[in-house]
A and B are shown apart, each in its own frame.
Chain A
């Protein structure tokens, strides 16, 4: 068991989940108190000891399936094995064909699946899953493909996509449902189908593992963790996941920006601590203590390129703006393509993110001529209209790929923005090796920035947030 555990921990680390030595020991300790035949208990115990972050659970689940899912659930439990056999017999019986152990044709399997889903018969569903993978997936030993290929083969043969309507028709036939009930029912059937797909997936994985061993399968199944997902090419599901993580990060960013002003200043007299101190001098307050000043609220100006080339990233930046503006009152946000417009109000209190995003694209005047990014014009407008609002306490955050379609970079405007603000950071969603190639003019702007950061995934964003706190960024700036 220990060997399996160390292999498993190794795999978790490979997948990017940090697992420390102490946690591995805890897991080993926990195994002593767990019924090893009970997969759910085993999973819960390993999860609680090894994974300390909710968003790592998905990767954990996959690895767990691969390492501990090999033995079918009923391997040690004669009762469960018997139940599985009965279910299989029932399946064959219901299909009305062949002897026990004989092959079933696609239609009767599909019918059995239909019954299992309609009656929520778990044992029958399991039997269908086993049969379906055995007969329909056409798995070839030794072939180095992932599970997805087999999964789609099974799904297509069983016509799972058509199943939803069939089930809905069957379940609504008996009595008329109100539209609300119908909607609920439809969603629930979708969930049941999703469960069926999950079961298929794990059955396929189980067979892959018994063919090729856990380490090899785990390698093909490894996906980047959410914090490593590329923000420019992120899928919708990944973006949704990213959005959940942005809030804590935004909060941290705000705190970091505020914290920098905390050091070295004193505030009001702290009576309690002064008297406490005075005890050592016989009650004479020779050493007055002061309260720390409250951290001042950071002033943040976000300038986001929302043009098509960075559309996905822009969505993410807007998410960041949205998150920040919910936690801090003094955030002003601006969107631009070849013209710049203030969008702060769209993200105000009580705003809905999707709505705000729609308003940015529908109402904000971000297009001036042709709808291709023009950083120079955007900065020109900003320095003309809003530069007065910048104070030595404000931080400016520009996000975009600095691809300005060969327009004039308008460096004087940019340097005046940089001079007016306390600090200016640029977050670029492009890999740094592509900077200054083609129409990218990152290099032209970089000297005026306090920092230019490649932010292609959340890990890099977190890195930026950490960096912002470093005192090296406190520097005196004079207008150029």
Chain B
């Protein structure tokens, strides 16, 4: 913690294998300085989740992950009373005074921490990743607000638990729906798009060891070109990494039309997209 500037943040992230551009480094630096959560938005597979993982590694912190899904509720996100244990306790203690019992069964011993509470109670500061926050309903989003703004959680039976250490919070969204204003207001906003050809080339070289530079360059250029076509699902960075691995495994020395068309299924996930790109490449070859 406490990097002197965005340059240091970038270097630290690079050291653990994540290549940030200047904007990412700047926003991460600000988030650390202002103690604010970062809301990372962008198409699937551009390294939103990776960023949180890399941050955890940089700071040597534990990564606590809350994967969001439709129907997520407070018992999965915040905390839950361990009712089985409470029941056992009640049976074991039959015949005791009620007042004693009540104090007994609503203590931290019977509390099951879920990711949000976990992040707040963690003795060492942690990195909290709230993944795909756009998947929960608007109502559930409200659960996050108290945690994000004040780093505290109110449990009716126990009172308010404030953070002993402030976690670094990263939220990710694929933008399948608009997040509420209240949530956005509390976060710094970082949009990660597809990388430039140069950055993608560097990413490929970092993530695919033994990849020759010329191949990385060609792959990055071709991927950029494919992304400029109107596709249902343009290739993400993770897919272009997979593609580079495939090229390496196949022992390809140079990417030409034939190789590209034969391996398109690694890059694209919809048949309609594959056909469209193959057609484009063929017309390029014919023309």
Interface residues of A (CB under 8 A from B): 18, 20, 22-23, 26, 29-30, 33-35, 40-41, 44-45, 47-49, 51-54, 57, 178-180, 182-184, 187-188, 240, 247-248, 251-252, 272, 275-276, 279, 282-283, 350-355
Contact = CB atoms under 8 A, between A and B. Distances in A.
A54 B175 contact: yes
B276 A352 contact: yes
A84 B261 CA distance: 45
B22 A57 contact: no
A104 B187 CA distance: 50
Nearest to A32: B33
A184 B222 contact: yes
B278 interface: no
B34 A279 contact: no
Contacts of A240: 230
Contacts of B41: 54
A350 B276 CA distance: 12
A45 B175 CA distance: 21
Contacts of A272: 83
B197 to A, nearest CB: 8
Judged by DSSP, the binding face of A is helix
Given A26-B36, A180-B257, A183-B225, A355 B188 contact: no
Nearest to A352: B272
Given A54-B175, A54-B191, A283-B87, A45 B272 contact: no
A22 B272 contact: no
B257 A178 contact: yes
A20 B184 CA distance: 11
B39 interface: yes
B72 to A, nearest CB: 14
Contacts of A49: 30, 188-189
Interface residues of B, number: 55
A23 B182 CA distance: 11
B259 to A, nearest CB: 10
Contacts of B224: 187
Nearest to A54: B191
B176 A248 contact: yes
Nearest to B259: A180
A350 B287 contact: no
Judged by DSSP, the binding face of B is helix
Contacts of A23: 185
A34 to B, nearest CB: 8
A13 to B, nearest CB: 14
B221 interface: yes
Given A45-B30, A51-B189, A180 B272 contact: no
Contact of B270 (A33, A275, A350): A350
A205 to B, nearest CB: 21
Contacts of B90: 279, 282-283
A178 B256 contact: yes
Q: Please list the 6 inter-chain residue pairs (A to B) with the smallest Cβ-Cβ separation, ordered nearest first.
A: A44-B26, A52-B184, A352-B272, A48-B188, A183-B284, A44-B23
A161 B230 CA distance: 24
A282 B224 CA distance: 65
Interface string B86-125: 1100100000000000000100000000000000000000
A51 B255 CA distance: 40
9 contacts: A22-B185, A23-B185, A33-B34, A40-B23, A41-B6, A180-B260, A187-B224, A187-B228, A352-B273
Contact of A29 (B22, B34, B187, B287): B34
